[in-house]
């Protein structure tokens, strides 16, 4: 646990001043975090641009990593992730349609809700097509269904770009994914979601350990599987929807980070989830 935290702190500090158009030192980055003084130009750059972007990157990384860990546990498939199972692309399609069709701009938690709904619909379709609701799941079929639906949703998103020329540039820029446009408003949009979801996920760690062994083992030991699956799905959609609404359909974090977490912390979810 100590090594990932140390790496995170070092990378976060470096992100505040490295590769800046205006020279910013490490001392400037530290002073920018301290209250009670008038910031210089480098310090103002850190406070208004670099710091919110870095915080958004941390929150999105944590959210997608947790979502990926939950999905891999739920489906018993180490290849499961929000991007491969179609949740990201469904959320992106919902966002693109909203941007193209809404007469007024939509922002804040409304966007997160719309993205979560789009991701939920696509995830429901993937589970139906891939046999995810059956007691004997075909893991490969579920992934293939997710990849197919992702391609279909991205095709519809591109059609939306062609039909909504006035909004095409904004949608295309957002679809590229990233945090270069992030501001403090995005931090406050993501923070409540992460602060709410993380404690719930950690409280479920013991049940997730049982689910990780097998569904039958978890059921035998008293785990309410339908309720646990519902909570996991709601948490995943909440986390992914919030991330997609801010940074676009960022891929592969939810796939790779859980494997790195298990490499560092083993297979105990009480350790894997915090490391993720």
pLDDT of residue 57: 92
More confident residue, 195 or 18: 195
- Quick: pLDDT tens for 140-193: 788 888 889 999 999 998 888 888 777 777 777 777 778 888 889 889 989 999
- Range 212-220 average pLDDT: 78
The mean pLDDT value of the chain amounts to 84
Q: Domain extents for the chain?
A: 55-275
At 13-33, the pLDDT tens digits run 888 878 777 777 778 788 877
**pLDDT score for 18:** 80
**Of 227 and 168, which is predicted with more confidence?**
227
* pLDDT > 60? residue 135: no
Residues 6+ apart with CB under 8 A from 114: 94, 95, 98, 106, 241, 245
pLDDT of amino acid 107: 65
Return d(Cα 211, Cα 228) in angstroms, integer: 9
How many whole angstroms separate alpha carbon 67 and alpha carbon 61?
A: 10
Considering the four listed CATH numbers 3.40.190.10, 1.20.1250.20, 1.10.3470.10, 1.20.140.150, the one that applies to the domain covering 55-275 is: 1.10.3470.10
Would you say residue 199 has pLDDT above 90?
yes
Cα distances (angstroms) measured from residue 68 to each of 55, 156, 168, 263, 273: 20, 25, 30, 15, 10
- Count how many Cα atoms sit within 13 Å of the Cα of residue 64 in the half-sphere of its side chain: 27
The total of other beta-carbon atoms located within 10 Å of residue 97's CB is: 17
């Amino acid at each position: 646990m100590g090594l990932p935290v140390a790496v995170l702190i070092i990378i976060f500090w470096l992100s505040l001043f490295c590769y800046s158009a205006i020279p910013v030192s490490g001392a400037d980055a530290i002073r920018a975090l301290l209250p009670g003084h008038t910031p210089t130009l480098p310090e103002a750059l850190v406070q208004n641009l670099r710091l919110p972007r870095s915080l958004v990157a941390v929150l999105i990384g944590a959210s997608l990593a947790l979502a990926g860990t939950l999905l891999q546990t739920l489906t018993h498939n180490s290849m499961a992730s929000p991007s491969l199972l179609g949740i990201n692309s469904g959320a992106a399609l919902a966002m693109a349609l909203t941007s193209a069709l809404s007469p007024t701009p939509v922002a804040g938690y409304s966007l997160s809700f719309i993205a979560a709904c789009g991701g939920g619909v696509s995830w429901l379709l993937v589970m139906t097509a891939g046999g995810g609701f059956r007691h004997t799941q075909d893991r490969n079929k579920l992934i293939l269904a997710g990849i197919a639906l992702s391609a279909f949703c991205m095709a519809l998103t591109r059609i939306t770009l062609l039909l909504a020329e006035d909004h095409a540039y904004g949608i295309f820029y957002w679809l590229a994914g990233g945090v270069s446009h992030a501001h403090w408003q995005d931090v406050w949009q993501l923070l409540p979601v992460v602060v709410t979801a993380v404690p719930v996920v950690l409280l479920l760690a013991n049940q997730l350990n049982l689910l990780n062994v097998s569904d039958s083992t978890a059921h035998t030991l008293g785990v309410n599987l339908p309720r646990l699956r519902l909570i996991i799905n709601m948490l995943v959609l909440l986390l992914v929807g919030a991330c997609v609404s801010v940074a676009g359909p960022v891929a592969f974090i939810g796939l790779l980070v859980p494997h790195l977490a298990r490499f560092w912390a083993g297979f105990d979810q009480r350790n894997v989830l915090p490391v993720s």
